[in-house]
Structure 1
Amino acid sequence: MTTKNSSPIEIAIQISLIAILSLWCFQIAKPFISIIVWAGIIAIGTYPIFLWLKKKVGLKAGWTATIITLTLLVILITPTILISSALIDNTQTLSQHIKNDQLVIPAPPEGVADWPLVGEKLNTIWSQAAQDPKALIGQYKTEIKTLMKWGVSAAAGAGLNILVFVISIIIAGVFLVSGKGIKNVFINIFNRVADGRGNELTTLSLSTVNSVVTGILGIALIQSLLAGMGFIAMDIPAAGVLAFICLIMAIVQIDILLVLIPISIYTFTDETTGTVAAVTFLVWNIAVGLLNNVLKPILLAKGVDAPMAIIFIGAIGGMILSGIVGLFIGAVVMVLGYTLFMVWLKPETIKS
């Protein structure tokens, strides 16, 4: 510990030792940071449900947290496994066909050329690809190779991502039980670094994370899962990949109808699909796409002031850094960081 009589050399040595110890601790904890952060995000998002359920059923905090944990495992893990399995199968099959020169692309259905805006160009490219898949691969060799590497990497990491989900949900259950104690810790931290404003900054942080979790991530997850169910029911090729694309688009606030409508049109041009099934699929996709407009006013009542660019950078950057889990964590962390930074610039913007 430094004193008034400490020499500059002693102070430098002490600071160096603290820095080395801090860096060492960080390196040890680094593999678990994403898991713990994701667990905290899940806990914050489900804490209102935890309080409501505890009051309704009259159980102790531990049992209530156990019920929520098991429910989350069923709700999140089951569809995650289904989508991940479909993604793995699609990626591996496509990769093997390309390597073995067995890639077969069906000819475009009749009527594709009549699609508005992109129909004629899409029909031309699709027809060329169906006639000579090797030429298509040769023309876009670099892009396809990069995509394949990413797909194989994603497929290989799917099992690890599922394990991360499971561990994070279990840890989130522990956080639910000790929610008040953890909140007090953050209040004390903010008090130390923000001149006694710990309570208001903690409240703002919790409100921001909860809004992002329920109003952005929750809606995105619901939409992508429902869309994926429709793809699987209609036997759409690459259903897992398409569902994952819908998930990314929904998180970065891009309307997934841009994907759902063309796929719905495709089913009308497919001779193997009945008219009733195609109409039902179209209605289902429209309902899934518009679900965002119904749920967002309810779940995002307080709003998220962060620009879409912040959410986009957080989601995509997080996915590049930490895989599928990072897709969720990145969006939340970037929005929280942006919100706290804006409050630091303009303290009067804190809402009571």
Structure 2
Amino acid sequence: MSNENEPTSDKTLEKFISRKLIDLFIQIGLIGFLVVYCYQIFKPFIGLLLWSIILAVALYPLNALIARKMGGKEGYAAVAVVLFILLSVLAPAASLSFSFAESTSGLVKQVQSGTWQVPAPDESVAGWPLVGEKVYELWSSAHTDLGAVIAKHRPAIATFARQILGYAATAGTAVVTFLAAMVLAGIWMAYAASAHAAAKAIANRMAGPAKGENLIALSTATIRAVAQGVIGIACVQALLLGAGFIVVGLPAAGIWALLVLLLGIAQIPAALVSVPAIVYIWSTQGSTPAAILFTVYTLVAGSADNILKPLVLGRGVDAPMPVILLGALGGMASGGIIGLFLGSVMLALGYQLFMAWVYSPNEEER
């Protein structure tokens, strides 16, 4: 009898396993469909959400300080922080963004119409090492016959002009996105306790209770280090120098300020932009009081990072500067001006988490 029941038992077991597998595949498929569909719906808001979280994490120490002064009212403190940031940052940032868009559009129109005159190069340009003679020759040709130079390099100029106009178009969008992200950051800071508890629960679920707290602490420290010590200082320096460029009447002031921002994020001295700006002002305006005042102001504002960095985070960031630079450039290439900030922070965060995983002790070796 036992031999006759064995095939029946095997078939029953096979049916049970098959049914379980089919149910498992159906469940996985439904969950995968739900995840992909939700991602497609939420995809346009991912950048805004990440940007608001980064702002909230970076600004929360200030929010906590103000909340203590207000008797622990974090909601009122968050409103105060958001209003202060918007009034102190949004106005000059909007001015630089509109200046960037206006200057690039006007420059392209002048070049296309042939009304833009390139100033004559100084004789000392020819003495520059390695590239001096070629730069002097190209500069002289552009000064005498700009149309011929444009015709010779038309494809490269057209590509560069389209890229510049694209960045100019995204400058205003970046300001609006920052406004929305700042408002969301205020909401996150007002409910900081609940947000931290949710983040801790997610981290514990992902990495386990033993490592979840360390994961949150490392992420918070990295975001604040990069946002405050690199991006924040670069923004302050770009705003200071950009304001001076606008006041003195430097052509394409918004472009110069954007270059300062890029160099600041890459941890490259702003002198690469400020010194040529000073040279241009002296060559066009001479030794006027305005030029002298602009020189002093630019040199002081250009060295502001040397004063602010020790005050904000001591010296340097744990993530290597090439990681931050690649994140900034890659983020800007994929996400425009906002991607410039998101890319550097997220790549630095990913690098820190990866290195923490690499050097963490193996459970089996304990």
Q: Give TM-score scaled by structure 2 length.
A: 0.88
Are positions 1:135 and 2:148 aligned together? yes
- Report the equivalent of 1:81: 94
Please report how far the alpha carbon of residue 112 of structure 1 lies from its aligned counterpart in structure 2 after TM superposition: 4.7
Q: Shift of residue 63 of structure 1?
A: 1.3
Partner of 2:246: 232
| TM superposition shift of 1:66 | 0.7
Q: Pick closer, same or farther for the CA change 1:79–1:115 going to 2, 3 Å.
A: farther
Give the residue type in structure 1 aligned to 2:125: A
Match of 2:174 among 161, 166, 178: 161
Tell whether the 8 Å contact from 1:112 to 1:122 is kept in structure 2 after alignment.
no
Q: 1:347 aligns to what SS in structure 2?
A: coil
Is 1:319 the counterpart of 2:319? The answer is no
Confirm or deny: 8 A CA contact 1:228 1:243 kept in the other structure. Answer: yes
Matching residue of 1:299 = 312
Answer yes or no: is the 8 Å Cα contact 1:39–1:168 preserved in 2.
yes
Equivalent in 80, 95, 98 of residue 108 of structure 2: 95
Of Structure 1 and Structure 2, the greater helix share is in: 2
Is it true that 1:7 corresponds to 2:53 in the alignment? no
Contact 1:224 1:244 in 2 (8 A): yes
Larger C-alpha radius of gyration, 1 or 2? 2
Give the deviation of 1:152 after TM superposition: 1.9
Work out whether residues 315 and 330 of structure 1, in 8 Å CA contact, stay in contact via their aligned partners in 2: yes
Residue 245 of structure 1 pairs with residue 268 of structure 2? no
Equivalent residue for 2:269? 255
* Cα-to-partner distance string for 1:308-333 (whole Å, 9 max, x where unaligned): 21111111111112111111111100
Change in 2 beyond 3 A, CA 1:139/1:111: same
Decide which of 65, 68, 71 is 1:55's aligned counterpart. 68
Q: CA deviation at 1:123?
A: 3.4
- 2:264 maps to 1:277: no
Percent identity over the alignment? 36
Report how far residue 114 of structure 1 moved.
Answer: 7.2
Gapped regions of structure 1 (runs ≥ 5): none
Selected match of 1:19 from 16, 27, 32:
32
- Of the structure 1 ranges 146-155 and 79-88, higher mean CA displacement relative to structure 2 is found in 146-155
Cα contact 2:229–2:313 (8 A) shared by 1: yes
Partners in 1 of 2:77 and 2:127 — Cα distance? 53
Deviations 1:144-166 (A, max 9, x none): 11121112222222332221111
Given that 2:274 and 2:299 are in contact with CA atoms closer than 8 Å, whether structure 1 keeps it comes out as yes
Distance in 1, Cα, partners of 2:95 & 2:330: 25
Which residue type is aligned with residue 71 of structure 1? Answer: F
**Among residues 328, 341, 348, which one is paired with 1:328 in the alignment?**
341
Shift of 1:76: 2.2
Q: What is the distance in 1 between the residues matched to 2:127 and 2:339?
A: 36
In structure 2, the CA distance between the partners of 1:256 and 1:225, relative to structure 1 (3 Å rule), is same
**SS of match in other structure, 1:32:** helix
Structure 1 position 183, deviation (Å): 1.4
**Counterparts of 1:193 and 1:135, CA distance in 2:** 62
TM-fit CA distance, 1:238: 0.9
- The CA deviation string for residues 205-239 of structure 1, in whole angstroms up to 9 with x for no partner, is 10110111110011000111111111112211111
Residue number in structure 1 paired with 2:45: 32
Corresponding position of 1:218: 232
Distance apart, 1:185 and its partner CA = 1.5
The Cα of 1:175 is off from its aligned counterpart by 0.5
CA distance in 1 between counterparts of 2:275 and 2:111 reads 28
Instruction: Give the direction of change, closer, same or farther, for the CA distance of 1:128–1:302 in structure 2 (3 Å limit).
Output: closer
Q: Distance in 1 between matches of 2:283 and 2:242?
A: 20
Cα 1:75–1:6, aligned 2, differ >3 Å: closer, same or farther? farther
- Of stretches 169-178 and 277-286 in structure 1, the one that deviates more from structure 2 is 277-286
Q: Which range is displaced more, 47-56 or 335-344?
A: 47-56
Q: Which one-letter code corresponds to 2:249 in the other structure?
A: D
1: distance between equivalents of 2:41 and 2:173? 19
Q: CA deviation at 1:281?
A: 2.2
Task: Please list every run of at least 4 consecutive aligned residues from structure 1 whose deviation after the TM superposition is greater than 4 angstroms.
Answer: 3-6, 118-121
The 1:243/1:11 distance shift into structure 2, 3 A limit, reads: same
Q: Given residue 240 of structure 1, which amino acid in structure 2 is its aligned partner?
A: G
Q: Equivalent residue of 1:305, what SS?
A: coil
Cα distance in 1 for residues equivalent to 2:233 and 2:18: 60
C-alpha distance in structure 2 between counterparts of 1:13 and 1:77, whole Å: 50
Aligned to 2:3: none
Say what the alpha-carbon RMSD is for the aligned residues. Answer: 2.1
Residue 207, structure 1, aligned to residue 217, structure 2: no
Count how many residue pairs are aligned between Structure 1 and Structure 2. 344
The CA distance in 2 between the partners of 1:303 and 1:106, in whole Å, is 40
Instruction: Return the alpha-carbon distance in structure 1 between the equivalents of residues 256 and 127 of structure 2.
Output: 20
